[in-house]
Structure 1
């Protein structure tokens, strides 16, 4: 048997095993998805999922909890080209070190959560991205138990909810269906390079 035949035989066995595994996966449900970790890419991944929903014609929505003051590329794209399929609500007022006003930050987070609940309750909306909500939960601007109870008890069965931000709370990680932790390996900011359009925003 030559190398090509061995390769084909090996791949055929892998394919047969994968096909059996995939045949057993028949359930569908709305997922609670968490993107966390110190590395870059948490929001970017969430927005990638939103674009997938749009490509499938699935109504979706975004609530931004922290970066609401930023003029981001994703906000421009979604509001100018896909407003019919994706609602976009920028509820934050900037990073906490910029506002320097805890009461204002709490009020903004609570307004964002009220809007998030309204959107999640709507069964026509298939995915809701809660961008940087983990920051609001970390600083206790929102009550974690309330958020978890809402996701458990009120989220429609087929609605996906994506929660992004560093330092996801352990109870949220436990409750989620899918959790990805972005690891920080190397970042240009440490070499004196500022945040740039198309990469960070």
Structure 2
């Protein structure tokens, strides 16, 4: 078996007239590719390596151990909300490939981390209208359907038209007009 670019010998003792042989390989990592070849060793300990067939296989993906972290939300604009995050390190994927899945108000968008430049990212702009409520969360998914836990769920609101809203929070509607107190008009 080829592990980390070098071959590891796993010996299976021949049994006379056995029609099939099998061997369980232990210690393999989730989501990694391996190569296996069978060499028949004669009684003198010699074998012929040339011409032996090599089979490549990949182990199943494990469950990613970490969702995206350091999520930041900039909701100061009335027409968009900017989401940024840090992607999990590759060793936490437990797979050869992973996507960040962003969920906004129940609709998901995926970003492939395996092929940088295709659509891998650590930011996303959500187009909105003024004073729009959003729920946002993220997780890591593998092609085999395993997923990390979701990040916490954020509930945010885009800014009002012409108003600034506080990051990670919301502002209520503002009042305009005239207030009347004890018969006197107060300008607002």
TM-score range, shorter chain: under 0.3
Normalised to the residue count of structure 2, the TM-score between the two structures is 0.20
Q: Which has the larger radius of gyration?
A: 2
Higher RCO (C-alpha 8 Å, min separation 6): 1
User: Greater helix share, 1 or 2?
Assistant: 1
User: Greater strand share, 1 or 2?
Assistant: 2
Normalised to the residue count of structure 1, the TM-score between the two structures is 0.19
